A and B are shown apart, each in its own frame.
Chain A
């Protein structure tokens, strides 16, 4: 059955921009449900609250695109954060403490990369192991106690630059950098290739092991920064903080269109996914929705996002098959 070109174009636009349409519709509905939703203060709140989770989501996205996953993000964030805080309390250097956080994130992810590439451990298992190890180190180092009296360290998570909260500045920088990496670098393109078909990527000459290491390193930098932001936001070094945050990152990436099968995902999609979840949390808090109902709603949104992802992939696969069949018939004719 032939479909009109205009209808095909419309369907294509819907598929490509559906996540943004959902976000726009959500903004409209939320603004009708609560008059404060669209206020500058509230939108700033949402962005500030989302900063840590979205930065984690970018790391998760890179890894999922390349066919991997990171279950250790929350634990590594905690370890990076407490060591960063400790460094600041000892040395008084903000730049140094940020670098320590990043370094810890990178080292942990290098270990992940080693386990995945050199020892061929499935990323799920390797990062699950790191989840336990990193958390254990954080607890051992702090003896399970919170580190207090952070002084000026809080500027990372609670400061402002020209009226813009610093977490939002970090988020913007991370967004631009990750977008550039994925859209305009060979490294970014290779991640899509590896995630789409690793054997074909190898055959085409991509150094898959090196690119995987790089993906984990970038993830490590993002997790380290997230750790510094998290601890400075809560004004304490919490060794048991950010439990489950890896799931927040994964959820935002998946809702934003990153596919678990690999090779698919965009930075702006992940950002939109993060905002969809953030707006949902926000409007449910503003309108006083029961916390149990909030949990059910969030779970349902994740399920719907994955169902949509699977269905749209099936549609694309059917299109490819139809086009191939049409081509075969022409040849026969």
Chain B
């Protein structure tokens, strides 16, 4: 009799796991990141609830919460979701693994979410699974990056070309004549890195054939890899006039190497992302400029879009966040923004 009861209990426990999400992270907003922000775009339905009292379950599948930007975006998504009475947001971590991310998409379909927001690790690897979401009749948004060519999917993204182009257009006039520059790229084949590099080519190097790229290499978005490259480049090429980086982390790494060196006192440096560290460096005059890729804006637009799609107000939404240039003129505003969110002390 005892064995039968235990068996029944075990079976009940196993069945109950079917109704519980796996790899689920917190839903309650992080008080450090919640709060108003002047730079966030207006999300018209923020705080609104569906008049019928219906609530919607939304799954957000993050690329990798180990990635500081992806982690910031996930935190902002949770904070923004708190502004919607009729949305419950569950965040899942794809761990920068296509297999895991695809599994999570499938699980989200099985678990009957009303909407799934996907931050693809690799657009082509996730494409068939995004199509499954659409085929299942579930509202689907792809964000950061967009995955083109899927009918019925909405998107919220930043334009990586424009993020680099705002820097490149400024650099055309700032970089001295016959300058020597070094270029730091993100991972090979990464869409954002490739597009940013394309922007620099078209909007700066093609317009300034006198500029010589003395060294260019991949630093995989990493600060320490960029440092090692810059240390060797300083030996190989002596003083350079500008550091062109496809993200702020790598730019900051290169700047660590030349910091305090008299011959590099006037070096120009450009990045993308507008991280807290970069904003501080620009404010201190150590970095020339960067472009903001605002997780706050992305989160606001994603939640606004998913709410409109779920309530039937829209059937498809495709929108990009702006890429404001951060330079010495306005860096303080962004430092203050990060300070208000507890990311800078």
**What residues of chain B lie closer than 8 Å to A240, measured between beta carbons?**
66-68
Q: Which residues 78-125 of A sit at the B interface, judged by CB distance below 8 A?
A: 89
- Given A39-B235, A286-B236, residue A148 in contact with residue B280 (CB < 8 A): yes
Q: Is B294 part of the binding interface, using a Cβ–Cβ cutoff of 8 Å? A: no
Cβ of B191 within 8 Å of any chain A Cβ, yes or no, is: no
Q: Which of B74, B223, B229 contacts A234 (CB 8 A)?
A: B223
B233 and A146 contacting across the interface, CB-CB below 8 Å: no
Binds B, one of A14-22, A40-48, A313-321: A40-48
Given A238-B223, A282-B232, A285-B229, answer yes or no on A144-B256 (Cβ-Cβ < 8 Å). Answer: no
The CA of A30 and the CA of B151, in the complex, are separated in Å by 55
CB-nearest residue of chain B to A41? B235
A233, B227: Cβ atoms under 8 Å? yes
State the CA gap A143–B276 with chains docked (Å). 15
The yes or no answer to B309 lying at the interface (CB within 8 A) is no
- A233-B277 contact, Cβ under 8 Å, with A239-B66, A285-B233: no
User: Counting CB contacts under 8 A, is A49 at the interface?
Assistant: yes
Contact A49 B223 (CB under 8 A): no
Give A158 to B280 CA distance when docked, in angstroms: 20
Question: Does A36 reach chain B (CB closer than 8 Å)?
Answer: yes
Q: Please give the distance in Å from A246's CB to the nearest CB on chain B.
A: 15
Q: How far is the CA of A236 from the CA of B275 in the complex (A)?
A: 13
CB–CB B235/A42 < 8 A: yes
Q: Specify which chain A residues have a CB less than 8 angstroms from the CB of B32 in the assembled complex.
A: 143
Q: Which of A89, A144, A282 has the most CB of B within 10 A?
A: A144
Interface pair B71/A143, CB less than 8 Å apart: yes
Within 8 A of A (CB), among B233-256: 233, 235-236, 252-253, 256
Q: Does A241 contact B (CB under 8 A)?
A: yes
A234-B30 contact in complex given A42-B235, A285-B229, C-beta closer than 8 Å: no
1/0 contact trace for A280-313 toward B, CB 8 Å? Answer: 0110011110011000000000000000000000
A260 to B34, CA, bound (A): 51
With A and B bound together, what is the CA distance between A286 and B214 in angstroms?
11
Q: Which residues of chain A are near B265, meaning CB under 8 Å? A: none
Instruction: Report A-chain residues with C-beta under 8 Å of the C-beta of B233.
Output: 285
Give every chain B residue within 8 A of A268 (Cβ-Cβ).
none
Give Cα A313 to B67, complex, Å: 43
Closest to A154 in B: B256
Give min CB distance, A17 to chain B, whole Å.
Answer: 29
Shortest distance from the beta carbon of A63 to any chain B beta carbon, whole Å = 24
- Please state if A241 and B224 are interface contacts (CB–CB under 8 Å): yes
Task: For B277, give its contact among A48, A148, A288, A291 (CB under 8 Å).
Answer: A148
The answer on a CB contact under 8 Å between A145 and B71 is yes
Q: Is B188 located at the chain interface by the 8 A CB criterion?
A: yes
Q: Which of A42, A45, A149, A239 contacts B280 (CB 8 A)?
A: A149
Contact status A45-B232, CB under 8 Å: yes
Residues of B contacting A145 in the complex (Cβ-Cβ under 8 angstroms): 68, 71-72, 343
Partner pick for B224 among A41, A139, A230, A288, CB 8 A cutoff: A230
**Does A135 sit at the interface, judged by CB under 8 A?**
yes
Q: Does B22 contact A (CB under 8 A)?
A: no
A230-B224, A238-B223, A241-B224 known; A146+B68 contact, CB < 8 A: yes
Chain B residues within 8 Å of A267, by CB? none
Q: Would you call A251 an interface residue if the criterion is a C-beta within 8 Å of the partner chain's C-beta atoms?
A: no
Q: In B166-192, which residues have CB < 8 Å from any A CB?
A: 188
Contact of A285 among B67, B217, B345 (CB under 8 A): B217
Q: Does B215 contact A (CB under 8 A)?
A: yes
Interface string of B301-345 (1 = CB under 8 A from A): 000000000000000000000000000000000000000000111
Please determine whether A286 and B67 come into contact, CB atoms closer than 8 angstroms. no
1/0 per residue, CB under 8 A from B, across A122-149: the answer is 0000000000000100010001111011
Q: Across the interface, which residues of A come within 8 angstroms of B256, CB to CB?
A: 158, 233-235
Kindly supply a per-residue 1/0 record for chain A positions 28-66, scoring 1 wherever the CB is within 8 Å of any chain B CB and 0 otherwise.
Answer: 000000101001011001001100000000000000000
Q: How far is the CA of A67 from the CA of B66 in the complex (A)?
A: 32
B236 with A34: CB separation less than 8 A: yes
Q: What residues of B have a CB within 8 angstroms of the CB of A49 in the complex?
A: 228, 231
Min distance, Cβ B25 to any Cβ of chain A, angstroms: 10
B258 an interface residue at 8 Å Cβ cutoff?
Answer: no
Q: Which residues from chain A contact B134 at a C-beta distance below 8 Å?
A: none
B65 contacts the other chain (CB 8 A): yes
Chain B residue at smallest Cβ distance from A245? B224
User: How many angstroms between the C-alpha atoms of A39 and B236 in the bound complex?
Assistant: 11
**CB of B40 closer than 8 Å to a CB of A:** no
Whether B218 is near chain A, meaning CB under 8 Å from some CB there, is yes
B236, closest chain A residue (CB): A286
A230 to B223 Cα, complex, angstroms = 11
The verdict on A36 contacting B66 (CB below 8 Å), with A234-B223, A292-B188 known, is no
Q: Per-residue 0/1 for A220-252: is the Cβ within 8 Å of any B Cβ (1 yes, 0 no)? A: 000000000010011110111110000000000
Residue of A nearest to B233 (CB): A285
Q: Is B75 an interface residue (CB 8 A)?
A: yes
Q: List 10 A-B contacts (CB under 8 A).
A: A36-B235, A48-B231, A145-B72, A149-B344, A230-B224, A233-B224, A234-B256, A236-B277, A238-B224, A285-B236
Sample of 16 more A-B contacts, CB < 8 Å, known A41-B235, A45-B232, A285-B232 = A139-B66, A143-B32, A143-B71, A144-B71, A145-B343, A146-B277, A230-B224, A234-B256, A235-B252, A240-B68, A282-B232, A286-B232, A286-B235, A291-B188, A291-B217, A292-B188
B-side residues, CB < 8 A to A, are: 30, 32, 65-68, 70-72, 74-75, 188, 215, 217-218, 222-224, 227-229, 231-233, 235-236, 252-253, 256, 275-277, 280, 343-345
Q: Which 3 A-B pairs have the closest CB atoms?
A: A144-B71, A285-B232, A240-B66
**Which residues of A come within 8 Å of B, CB atoms?**
34, 36, 39, 41-42, 45, 48-49, 89, 135, 139, 143-146, 148-149, 158, 230, 233-236, 238-242, 281-282, 285-288, 291-292
